[in-house]
A = this chain, B = another copy of it.
Amino acid sequence: MIPDLDPATDLSLTRILAAPRALIWECWTSPAHIPHFFIPAPHRVTAVDIDLRIGGRFNTTFDVEGQVMDNCGVFLEIVPGERLVFTDAYSEGWKPAPDPFMTALLLLSDAPGGGTVYTAIARHRNAESRQSHEEMGFHDGWGTVATQLETYAMTLMASRRG
């Protein structure tokens, strides 16, 4: 179920990906897979620490042009193969972050002709945060991630077919 979006504070992107839902889910929830698609190249994910349960940590480290960025977050909702909600508004143990940026919802469903309907939603606390996220390049960035994810998932499929 897609929540009622608020155009003043939410951003969203929907794509059809040529890979099954179970595989997209596996990619998004596995530390081994995440570095292969999670941020637009040439930026790199250098560490992933996941405890895939409600309130469990979802921590990543990025290398953005030589700058190290540590991101701390938690999972808010986990419906395998369907729905993953996470945020930087908490770190593990429900410790509120002083200045959270966003809450992300990843929604997966079967596409009519096969593949996956992939929707990524970023919800923000206020219009300024949404605006700044849009200007940082939400659509290009999350679009690139979706393309990288699809390419990586297809590579996995090919390698698993042997």
Residues in B with CB closer than 8 Å to A54 are 54, 76-77
Tell me if A112 is interfacial: C-beta within 8 Å of chain B.
no
A3, closest chain B residue (CB): B93
The proximity string for A residues 91-103 relative to B, scoring 1 for CB distances below 8 Å and 0 otherwise, is 0111111111011
| Choice from B55, B95, B100 contacting A123 with Cβ under 8 Å | B95
Residue in A76, A92, A96 whose Cβ sees the most chain B Cβ within 10 Å: A96
**Nearest B residue (CB) for A99:** B125
Q: Interface 1/0s, chain A 12-56, versus B by CB < 8 A?
A: 000000000000000000000000000000000000000000110
Given contacts A96-B123, A96-B125, 16 further A-B contacts (CB under 8 A): A6-B95, A9-B95, A9-B96, A54-B54, A54-B77, A55-B76, A76-B76, A85-B94, A89-B89, A94-B103, A94-B105, A96-B102, A96-B103, A96-B124, A97-B125, A98-B125
